Amino acid sequence: MYKIAVLGDYDSIYGFAAVGLDTFPVSDSEGATRQLHTLAENNYSVIYVTEELASRISEEIEKYSTSLYPAIIQIPGVSGNTGAGVENVKKTVEQAVGSDILFGGN
Amino acid sequence: MAATQVNPTRMELTRLKKKLKTAVRGHKLLKDKRDELMRQFLDLVRENMELRMKVEAGIKNANKNFVIAKAGMSEQTLHTALMAPKQEIYLECDKKNVMSVDIPVFEYRTKTADANDIYSYGFAFTSNDLDDAVKSLADILPDMLKLSETEKACQLMASEIEKTRRRVNALEHVVIPQTEQNIRYITMKLDENERSTQIRLMKVKDMMLEEVREKAQ
């Protein structure tokens, strides 16, 4: 049985607890890294990370990019949308096609 | 000239011809795989982008609602209200094979069937803004899960496409031309050997004939 985790600063994620996701408030990137690895090993197959935090621990997130689980998905935090999530999608297109042919215009 | 040293023997020639055949066949198959993967990837990534836009807008909206809710009551009340959630979500993880790439399939189950269990608090001390906020988040949740599924699939497929593309290019631009060149080199060398043998035999024949002629005189 797998579960879903939400990782980020407390203000951005406390609401997710109500709908049944497991929230793990972290503030510093070191704690976040440790938490991320613990979660990945403990049956969390989807981990939502706030964009702001993800930008600080991108190297750690990169390590899971080729494995099937966990799926680490960036979500905007309370401080606003940094566009990192969209940027990521564009990057996958670039990786696959060679250049961004789909969303380059907007 | 061949880049690598090859033995100009018939055995080597047969081996190289077999290798070329395999390489051409592999190249065709990999190219087909790449094209099909690309087609599916482009569909998937478009869906991914749409979902992401939707989810980001939804979360932004939910965050706004939470800020409003927070403004309407004390922080302690808010924290207490959300401290012990009633609802829990479990995931069933499966995988689907698309062109030899395993992509995840998530199916979620809630702990309790009652949709109202997202409100884990009594309504006495909290404002109705909080109800709205929690509701807006619960509404976006199915899309969030769908997003995680497609986004992960896109990432996995992108790396597979990259790998396949490299293989196709390596076969097309390195392995196949090199093997062809080696085959040409060996064929030419063997032909040359054959010619020189023939000439030698002709020469020997001439010499022998001359010897016979001399003896006859």
Question: Per the domain annotation, does B13 fall within a domain?
Answer: no
Q: Which of A57, A48, A8 is nearest to B91 (CA)?
A: A48
Confidence at residue A104, expressed as pLDDT on a 0 to 100 scale:
65
Q: Which residue has the tokens 């403990």?
A: A42
**Rounded to two decimals, what is the model's pTM?**
0.81
Dist. CA B156–CA A95, nearest whole Å: 11
Buried b (16+ CB within 10 A) or exposed e, A64-73: beeebbbbbb
The Cβ of residue B117 has, within 10 Å, a number of other Cβ atoms equal to 18
Nearest CA in chain A to B50: A86
Going residue by residue through chain B, which has 217 residues, state the pLDDT in tens, using 9 for 90 and above. Answer: 445 678 888 999 999 999 999 999 999 999 999 999 999 988 988 898 889 888 888 888 888 888 888 887 777 777 777 777 777 788 888 888 888 888 888 888 777 766 666 677 777 677 777 778 888 888 888 888 888 889 888 889 988 999 999 999 999 999 999 999 999 999 999 999 999 999 999 999 999 999 999 998 8
DSSP H helical ranges for chain B = 10-72, 75-81, 128-170, 176-216
The answer to whether B66 contacts A15, with C-beta atoms less than 8 Å apart, is yes
DSSP H helical ranges for B73-127 = 75-81
Question: Per the domain annotation, does B7 fall within a domain?
Answer: no
Dist. CA B101–CA B99, nearest whole Å: 6
CA atoms within 13 A on the CB side of B65: 21
A45, A65, A98: residue with CB nearest B93: A45
Q: What is the CATH number of the domain that holds B96?
A: 1.10.287.3240
Residues B170-189 have pLDDT tens digits of: 999 999 999 999 999 999 99
Tell me which chain B residues have a C-beta less than 8 angstroms from the C-beta of A46: 91, 106, 145, 148
3-state SS string for chain A: CEEEEEEECHHHHHHHHCCCCEEEECCCHHHHHHHHHHHHHCCEEEEEEEHHHHHHCHHHHHCCCCCCCCEEEEECECCECCCHHHHHHHHHHHHHHCCCCCCCCC
The answer to whether B137 contacts A1, with C-beta atoms less than 8 Å apart, is no
The answer to whether A76 contacts B63, with C-beta atoms less than 8 Å apart, is yes
Residues A67-93 have pLDDT tens digits of: 887 888 888 887 777 777 888 888 888
Question: Per the domain annotation, does B171 fall within a domain?
Answer: yes
Tell me which chain A residues have a C-beta less than 8 angstroms from the C-beta of B73: none
For A3-79, the fitting CATH number among 3.40.50.10580, 2.40.100.10, 3.40.50.720, 3.10.400.10 is 3.40.50.10580
Question: Per the domain annotation, does B204 fall within a domain?
Answer: yes
Tell me which chain A residues have a C-beta less than 8 angstroms from the C-beta of B93: 2, 45, 69
Extents of the domains making up chain A:
3-79
Dist. CA B63–CA B65, nearest whole Å: 5
Question: Per the domain annotation, does B100 fall within a domain?
Answer: yes
Question: Per the domain annotation, does B6 fall within a domain?
Answer: no
Question: Per the domain annotation, does B53 fall within a domain?
Answer: yes
Tell me which chain B residues have a C-beta less than 8 angstroms from the C-beta of A103: 49
Cα–Cα distances in Å, from B40 out to A78, A87, B107, B113, B149? 34, 20, 21, 35, 15
The answer to whether A86 contacts B52, with C-beta atoms less than 8 Å apart, is yes
Q: Which of B195, B199, B191 is nearest to B8 (CA)?
A: B191
Host domain of residue B182: 18-215
With residue B102 as reference, give the H or E element that holds it: strand B101-110
Q: Name the minimum distance, in Å, from the CA of B22 to any CA of chain A.
A: 26
The answer to whether B59 contacts A92, with C-beta atoms less than 8 Å apart, is no
The answer to whether B87 contacts A19, with C-beta atoms less than 8 Å apart, is yes
Per-residue confidence at A99, pLDDT binned at 50, 70, 90? confident
Residues A16-70 have pLDDT tens digits of: 887 778 888 888 888 888 888 888 888 888 888 888 888 888 888 888 888 887 8
Structurally, chain B folds into a number of domains equal to 1
Dist. CA B209–CA B207, nearest whole Å: 5
The answer to whether A76 contacts B56, with C-beta atoms less than 8 Å apart, is yes
Question: Per the domain annotation, does B4 fall within a domain?
Answer: no
